[in-house]
Structure 1
């Protein structure tokens, strides 16, 4: 059920995105000579429900113009950890598909909204992921010995079942609204400050939301504001404050730090090969399990393609660099279009 339902939703979202790309009027995509990070964040079942921002660049939509996009993330989970007091198993797949809208205002301000749909399932990708790990020599954390295509997110502490989601749930995720201000920058370096508000529109019992409202603030700086270099350098950092939520509330850390950095090279004016690292501090405390209190570090490798003057497509493969603190593999695909 989960795989078929997700496929229909993804097909609808991609058709909407392609319709925008084909039917809308003139101009208004980001400058394709400035760095654009891969738009991803940690998709662990107990992290993605909070307002951890996705990596962003320093550009904003031009005044009076809109950008629209479709962002699809596929994540394969397998994490089994335990100690004398705790037992944790995250096994399954998560597909997150989101519609994104941005509008530019005067004085280089931008407003945005993101509307996600989240689907957890046993999926059909375990065999492919096993082969992927074998091919590239990545550790699988015991995945190859686990039952295939199972969905189970379970955490037991001191004999009490604190989390148990095993019925392949799906639904609307937590809607996010953002503001960003592009700063003048210095020479070839551009910068921006931004903030985001996450609303509790998802369902904490189904792990499509946290049940709380979160606020994030961050700053981003990058090179090539004058378009003179083939290199694309970008970094961002900030903090997240999460409000009262309904998932492991007695262990949750309300203040979390995060950051990202990317390096890309333009093979041609339209194709940029890029590597990126994202990190964040722990979302939970009073636990001895890396999946809850570890510092997550994820690495991405992929391609940013300026398809037309108005449309861009990005694809990346994401691996956990601090094994056990985040999902072992994710794939992200994003389409954006300016009009």
Structure 2
């Protein structure tokens, strides 16, 4: 029914419409000690038309479980995080776009531990020992030299760090579109509750992708950039302020409006002077999902995200994005 609806509603290939430009699965690392910083989500090269508004809702549901020890250090991340963000974009003259993202973050013991255990069993994914841990527990704890450097175990929630972004679409080459973008994350969240970092961050990146002409069933997209973050109030003595990141997306349009996608997202470590991989490991996540252009103005993307470098990023996440143009 889903595919039939997409086929019925979609125009044909070959119209050269940005509706058929490749769109990424819009996720980034949702680890409790990473998502508080300004790591941007995977992004495409298109921008809103001058004077047009785009509004969206992004929801990430992440199940955490990692328990690691090394020498005088120990770490336990166990719990679930729901992050919901309102996103507003405005098209400007000269192929520019401005945007604002306003998030709300909720950490809890959750309710899905048994479901996630079954999910790992069905697909044969490593569970990192979560099947033997207590269900529905929330604790994000890091101990070093006999001292608790991080301890958030009271299921906190609150407004996260607001993000402001500017994006410029470039001319591209042939069928390949390009853009450059920058994002400023403001310290509006609460570092003690892990809804923010306590500092401002700046990220810059570029994106390139095919199908400017709208004629191909294959959708390819890649982006890379760097993040400079303020010192903040979370493990500030071990922070790495310069972080590199990038993503790559490959999709195939079953219909012009319904694209199945696989995607990888990686970033360098946010922390140093530690042997705990959840802090100093290079995180690599893989995703499987779809982007569906429901109508001329509305679209949906959904993804299931798994850690490919076990222990360096969250166990499993689910992402849902809704977008509408006015």
TM-score, scaled to structure 2? 0.95
Query: Structure 1 unaligned runs (5+)?
Result: 1-29
Aligned pair partner of 1:189 in 149, 172, 176: 176
Q: Distance in 2 between matches of 1:55 and 1:40?
A: 6
- Quote how far apart the aligned CAs of 1:158 are: 0.6
Task: Name the SS for the 1:250 alignment partner.
Answer: helix
1:218-265 Cα offsets, whole Å, 9 max, x none, are: 000000011111000000000000012000000000000000000000
Q: Which residue of 2 aligns with 1:180?
A: 167
Counterpart position of 2:297: 310
Kept in 1, the 8 Å contact 2:176–2:211? The answer is: yes
- Partner in structure 2 of residue 333 of structure 1: 320
Match of 2:281 in 1: 294
The reply to whether residue 130 of structure 1 matches residue 123 of structure 2 is no
Cross-structure match for 1:215: 202
**Counterparts of 1:252-331 in structure 2 under 5 Å?**
252-331=239-318
| 1:40 partnered with 2:27 | yes
> Which runs of structure 2 are paired with 1:129-148 in the superposition (5 Å)?
129-148=116-135
CA distance in 2, matches of 1:321, 1:84: 25
Confirm or deny that 1:235 pairs with 2:222. yes
Counterpart for residue 13 of structure 2 = none
Deviation at 1:31, TM superposition (A): 2.1
Q: Corresponding residue for 1:25?
A: none
Aligned match for 1:61, one of 27, 48, 55:
48
Residue segments in structure 2 that go unaligned for 5+ positions in a row: 1-16
1:4-153 equivalence runs, <5 A: 31-153=18-140
SS across alignment from 2:63: strand
User: d(CA) in 1 for partners of 2:80 and 2:142?
Assistant: 17
Mapped to 2, the partners of 1:270 and 1:217 lie a distance apart of 30
Distance 1:85 1:158 in 2: 5
Shift of 1:307: 0.7
Give the distance between the partners of 1:334 and 1:129, measured in 2 at CA: 21
Number of matched pairs: 310
Measure, in 2, the Cα distance between the counterparts of 1:190 and 1:81: 43
SS at match of 1:129: helix
| Equivalent residue number for residue 246 of structure 1 | 233
**Deviation (angstroms), 1:328:** 1.1
CA distance in 2, matches of 1:39, 1:274: 11
Question: C-alpha distance in 1, partners of 2:239/2:229?
Answer: 9
2:235 aligns to what SS in structure 1?
Answer: coil
* CA distance in structure 2 between the partners assigned to 1:140 and 1:125 by the alignment: 14
Q: TM-score, normalised by structure 1?
A: 0.91
Q: Give the Cα–Cα distance (whole angstroms) in 1 for the partners of residues 50 and 238 of structure 2.
A: 43
User: Could you tell me how far apart the structure 2 residues matched to 1:324 and 1:84 are?
Assistant: 17
